[in-house]
Amino acid sequence: MNPSVVPAPGAPAVRARDLDVVRSGVTILRGADLDVPAGEHLAVLGPNGAGKTTLLHLLATYRFPTRGSLELLGHRLGRVDVRALRPHIGFVSVALDPLLEDITVLRTVAGSAIGSVAPPAAVLDEPALVTAAHTALERVGVDHLADRRILTLSQGERQRVRIARALASAPALLLLDEPFAGLDLGGREQLVTVLDALLTEPDGPTVVLVTHHLEELPTQLRRVLLLAEGRAVAEGPIEQVLTSAQVSSVFATPLQVVRDADGRWRATGVTDENRRVGRS
Ligand SMILES: Nc1ncnc2c1ncn2[C@@H]1O[C@H](COP(=O)(O)OP(=O)(O)OP(=O)(O)O)[C@@H](O)[C@H]1O
Ligand SMILES: [Mg+2]
């Protein structure tokens, strides 16, 4: 790692101005502005094809904007060696799974701390890496799976191991692309609890979470970006952004958005029946 590239103290985790992404002549992101202060967290919501994954790929430095400026952890893309910046950015996506070897959980998580997806068994001879791996696994409640092979894990277990992999390299910015995909209700609720704890860790990473369902939003999440057709439709404090009108408009469906007393959100379709009983 290039030691000169470290997250700039006090700098926003993300500062994007007027980002466009054009691929094969198609504009996928259009004029996106985004500010995520260090230590704050952002959820990105929007329909299929809105550009959510594309935005995360930009923040992961896997893709570059066609136009506009992007600063990550205080470093401007184009002026910084992205290979030196990447170790500070964790990216969790099922799309990365094919890169992973079917080795033990402990070895894969320990390998992530040195940026390897196929680490040699010798990583387990490094006490610092093994300790970092156990700590990361404990943070997401799956240290008991340390000796299991990855491909034997359930979807929910694997998802938490993916997050532990990302945490093992102590990222300043953690990007989660649909971490709830494929989880059953129990797995979803466990992951919401894990994320709520992560979001309130004093030295934890800034988290950008892409998700499809309001029910999956951790209660500690306070900012939301709504994307539709590559445009930022709304961005700001969660109570101002997640209104029934705005969410209905973005998903092109009449929806009633409710925040429960415990801080969890949900969206349900507006039907004649729930209109009749006064639910909307
Ligand atoms: N290389 C490419 N060339 C052309 N179009 C692309 C390319 N990559 C992505 N797209 C298109 O850009 C749009 C946004 O894709 P993206 O994967 O960012 O959406 P998303 O919001 O993550 O959707 P989903 O909820 O389905 O995951 C889609 O219409 C997609 O087909
Ligand atoms: Mg996507």
Judge whether residue 166 has pLDDT over 50: yes
Residue nearest to atom 13 of ligand 1 (CA): 49
Residue 3 has pLDDT above 90, yes or no: no
The alpha carbon of 182 and the centre of ligand 2 are apart by a number of angstroms equal to: 14
Instruction: Enter the tokens of residue 36.
Output: 């995520």
CA 240/CA 4 separation, integer angstroms: 39
- Asked: is 14-242 a CATH 3.40.50.300 domain? The reply is yes
Ligand 1, atom nearest to 57 Cα? 18
Atom of ligand 1 nearest to the CA of 210: 22
- Nearest atom, ligand 1, residue 23 CA: 3
What pLDDT does 94 receive? 79
The closest of 149, 62, 133 to 101, measured between CA atoms, is: 149
Is the beta carbon of 52 within 6 A of some atom in ligand 1? yes
How do beta strands 42-45 and 206-210 pair? parallel
49 in contact with ligand 1, CB cutoff 6 A? yes
Q: Which residues are near ligand 2, the ion (C-beta closer than 5 Å)?
A: 52-53
Tokens 């994954």 label which residue?
Answer: 53
What is the Å distance from ligand 2's center to 95 Cα? Answer: 10
At 221-253, the pLDDT tens digits run 999 999 999 999 999 999 999 999 999 999 999
Q: How far is the CA of 48 from the centre of ligand 2 (A)?
A: 7
| pLDDT interval class at 113 (50, 70, 90) | confident
Least confident of 96-100, 236-240, 241-245, 256-260: 96-100
* Spatial separation of the C-alpha atoms in residues 81 and 112, rounded to whole Å: 20
Residue 280 confidence (pLDDT) = 47
Nearest-atom number in ligand 1 for the CA of 54 is: 18
H or E stretch including 75?
A: strand 75-76
Pairing of strands 26-36, 67-72: unpaired
Give every CB contact of residue 149 below 8 A, 6+ residues apart in sequence.
Answer: 102, 103, 104, 105
Please check whether residue 181 is in contact with residue 149, taking contact to mean a CB–CB distance below 8 angstroms: no
Report whether residue 181 contacts ligand 1, using a CB cutoff of 6 Å: no
Q: What distances in angstroms separate CA 68 from CA 58, 71, 73, 80, one per listed residue?
A: 12, 10, 17, 16
Element (H, E) at 112: helix 105-112
Residue 4: which pLDDT band, with cuts at 50, 70 and 90? Answer: low
- Which of 33-37, 151-155, 238-242 is least confident? 151-155
- The rounded mean pLDDT for the chain is 91
Nearest residue (by CA) to ligand 1, atom 6, is 23
81 vs 158: CA distance, rounded Å: 31
Instruction: Please tell me the pTM assigned to this model.
Output: 0.92
Centre a 10 Å sphere on the Cβ of residue 231 and count the other Cβ atoms it contains.
15
Q: Is 54 in the pocket of ligand 1 (CB under 6 A)?
A: yes
Nearest C-alpha to atom 12 of ligand 1 is from which residue? Answer: 28
Q: Is the pLDDT confidence value at 278 over 60?
A: no
Please indicate whether residue 226, judged by its CB atom, sits closer than 6 Å to ligand 1: no
Q: What is the mean pLDDT of residues 155-183?
A: 91
* Ligand 1 pocket check for 53: Cβ under 6 Å: yes
- Domain extents in the chain: 14-242, 244-280
Q: What pLDDT, in 10s, does the model give residues 119-134?
A: 889 999 999 999 999 9
